[in-house]
Structure 1
Amino acid sequence: MIKGIYETHIQVSNLEKAIAFYTQVLGLTIGHVEDERRVAFLYMPANDKTSMLGLWEETNNVHTRHFAFHCDKDFILHQAVDFLQNHKLQPYNFLKDGSVQPMVFSWMPAIAIYFNDPDGNSLEFLALLDGKPQPNLGVLSYEDWLAQSAS
């Protein structure tokens, strides 16, 4: 089911300085930056897309704890929700809109479903999707992703 950790996230005090350090010093590559949420996603190793580091600017000392586990797409689409519910865990999508259907991040592209561990840490099952990134599509359902990718 789980193939490894796909991403982990850390807090930083200044997003721009952290991006500069991780890209210029450590050689990671920017995958996506969201200024309004003050977060950057960096690929490790550079442009490989096999793992990612999230940098979250936190000025009020709130701890961001999030890990994404790399899984098969079929597991996420057909088994993950039942698996989580059978283990008395509440799945939720990125939008936290009450739906338990996995969502696609079109900028990667990847499909994911979220849940929390007993300590409240945010966990995610994630699978990379075939196709080219389409950041303009935002976060959408898998069915909408397939429709948009076909056109």
Structure 2
Amino acid sequence: MIKGLYETHVQVSNLENAIQFYTKVLGLKLAHRDKTRPIAFLWIGQKKEFMLGLWEQKENLQTRHFAFTSTLEDILNYSVEFLEKKDLKPYNFLKNGSIQPMVFAWMPALAIYFNDPDGNQLEFISILEGEGKPELGVLTYDEWIQQKQ
């Protein structure tokens, strides 16, 4: 019955600022803005493929986490530069001060994190080929490659 995840929603403190961030900085496309409520919907990827809902919440803002699908090559070669050029601070899952993407060995997947202006935790992630190795925990991509040899 379930084939995937179509949409997710996050709370934002200022809808206009959030629309600007997600469209101008990250490149999502505005799909619809509700004229009766402070809500906007954005396309992720191709039109009608995936959707992100932005809900303005002036009080008791609850931040969330979600991940954007990316490619291995983009994460390894461009993600940190892409984020830094947009004045965003990349960080890895371990939050150890490194901006190096990390591998979640149990999946396996490569990921790098950053925050939106409201503190929602965003991620670029790419599923890696092969079987997961949960016993390895979270490690660098170089360590992951060495483990596979």
Question: TM-score over 0.5 for the alignment?
Answer: yes
Match of 2:130 in 1: 131
Structure 2: 5+ residue stretches without partners: 10-59
**Structure 1 residues 88 and 142, CA, compared in 2 at 3 Å: closer, same or farther?**
same
Structure 1: 5+ residue stretches without partners: 10-60
Say if 1:8 and 1:66, in contact at 8 Å, map to a contact too: no
Match of 1:72 in 2: 71
What TM-score do the two structures reach when normalised by structure 2? 0.59
What TM-score do the two structures reach when normalised by structure 1? 0.58
After the TM superposition, which residues 1-151 of structure 1 pair with which residues of structure 2 at under 5 Å, given as runs? Answer: 63=62, 65-150=64-149
Measured after TM superposition, the shift of residue 62 of structure 1 is 9.4
- Number of matched pairs: 96
Q: Post-superposition, which runs of at least 4 consecutive aligned residues in structure 1 deviate over 3 A?
A: 5-9, 61-64
Distance 1:68 1:116 in 2: 11
Q: Percent identity?
A: 60
Which one-letter code corresponds to 2:90 in the other structure?
P
> Any idea what SS the aligned residue of 1:131 has?
coil
**Structure 1 residues 6 and 91, CA, compared in 2 at 3 Å: closer, same or farther?**
farther
Which one-letter code corresponds to 1:147 in the other structure?
Q
Question: Cα RMSD over matched residues?
Answer: 2.5
Which one-letter code corresponds to 2:120 in the other structure?
N
Measured after TM superposition, the shift of residue 131 of structure 1 is 1.2
